[in-house]
Structure 1
Amino acid sequence: MEGLFDTCRVVLFDCDGVLVNSEPISLATLVDVLEHFGAPLSLREVSDRFTGRSSSAPIEYIKEQTGQDVTAAFKPYYYEMLFARYDRDLTKIDQIDDVLAALRARDIAFCISSSSSVERLEKTMQVTGLGPWFEGQVYSADFVENGKPAPDLFLHAADGMGHAPEHTIVIEDSVAGVTAARAAGMKCVGFVGGGHYADDRETACQRLYAAGADIVIDDMANLARAIPA
């Protein structure tokens, strides 16, 4: 990863599966929610279809499968179950504080750029204690018309942070996110160290490279070491 940060002025972090180990919780919860609304999928199918996507994706899937428009009912039902599990089980990704501290010491800006809603991101920051790192620097798919894999969110976040795409690095764990970063003209580091990839990190790594990741890592300590002192 030598030279990765030579022209970097800002880093855009996905949240789920990158900053926090939330994907195993959210995917398992989504399995339960889809079954409740009559559109069951296995955990693997849910992961393949919805990792890195906003809540509109499962809502659209439910409508395709059942004819129901659950737009109003989906989020309250999902979040009640999800947030209870967050309170019990949500943790930060190991070494993420070291990465953020290294970026701050190097005067490289950073923010969150996530498919999650503002409400969900606020809950995540509160439970994990990551909030102080990102005060005023949180960009949600709520802010753009087209979520990942479209580049809109990353372009919006980079613009909001005052930096051009060519000076931006995205940290992503999903194919949709890597695809969005490449479409935005940004470098992308794939991350497969989250719990949702524990059973098959090699395949996840291959998929992120195939989507266009410049490099893929499974340990945030490697990223921290790549940031120049």
Structure 2
Amino acid sequence: MNPKIELVIFDCDGVVIDSEVLSAQVLIDMLVDKAVFIDRAYVQEHFLGCNFKAVTQKIADAFNVELPERFEADYRNALLHEFETALMPTNGIKEVLANLATPSCIATSSSPARTEKALSVVKLSHYFDEVFTSSEVKNGKPAPDLFLHAAKKMGVNPAHCLVIEDSIAGVSAALAANMQVLHYSGGGHMQGAVNFVHKAYPEVAHLTDWKAFYEMYPTLKI
């Protein structure tokens, strides 16, 4: 049996907010001007769960192109504009959070500004005790640093943490941190896409719809 869960650690993009399709399209459109042509499937396979520094390095390695210094800032500004008009929470997450009896936090590869803005737009900020970003640790996902940092700050043994992730990088990081893991694949970016996480980690618990969350974890409900 798994140890008692004392903390639920949510990834943000693709788990709490349905942002990955928006993020991918903004990046795809901006890279065209740099003669880099990719699609959503490429983003899904290579960039999902990674922070922007890792993404730019992967682009440089794969396409032999160095993005200008302003690229990240321009990307973030364009994405925040999209968030204002098109961002939604993942379907059913509000009901899960409203009925969660266990402390919870966010641990995300996104920047603090982007995360704060996103949670504010979808009106979910008040559900989380803390928000942690990869800017607070040396190594981002798939290293375990961010999840271990979150557990330490929240005062919970890693074995008593449940991480909910949608990406290979995130699941790998949670497993490396010796935490319990749930793979969520109900975000818009997963519809009709190859499930790389399930292929890589078939043994990890899998959830496609938040409606079934408390059937899997009944002790976490109020």
Question: TM-score when scaled to structure 1?
Answer: 0.88
CA distance in 1, matches of 2:7, 2:199: 22
On the 8 A contact 2:107/2:146 being kept in 1, the answer is yes
Of Structure 1 and Structure 2, the greater helix share is in: 1
Instruction: Using the aligned pairs only, state the percent identity.
Output: 35
Please state how far the C-alpha of 1:79 moved relative to its aligned partner.
1.2
On the 8 A contact 1:187/1:213 being kept in 2, the answer is no
SS of the residue corresponding to residue 99 of structure 2 reads helix
CA distance in 1, matches of 2:42, 2:112: 26
Question: For residues 140-155 of structure 1, what are the structure 2 equivalents within 5 Å?
Answer: 140-155=133-148
Q: Which runs of 5+ in 2 are unaligned?
A: none
Aligned partner of 2:107 in structure 1 is 113
Aligned CA distance change for structure 1 residues 173 and 118 (closer, same or farther; 3 Å): same
Aligned CA distance change for structure 1 residues 119 and 37 (closer, same or farther; 3 Å): farther
Please state how far the C-alpha of 1:85 moved relative to its aligned partner.
1.1
Aligned residues: 218
* 51, 54, 62: which one aligns with 1:54: 51
CA distance in 2, matches of 1:193, 1:123: 22
Aligned CA distance change for structure 1 residues 212 and 139 (closer, same or farther; 3 Å): farther
* 175, 188, 210: which one aligns with 1:182: 175
On the 8 A contact 2:198/2:204 being kept in 1, the answer is no
Question: TM-score when scaled to structure 2?
Answer: 0.91
Aligned-partner residue type, residue 116 of structure 2? E
SS of the residue corresponding to residue 156 of structure 1 reads helix
Deviations 1:88-146 (A, max 9, x none): 1100112212211222xx3x1110000101011011011101111125x0000111111
CA distance in 2, matches of 1:215, 1:141: 24
Deviations 1:150-193 (A, max 9, x none): 11110001111110111000000001110110000001000010
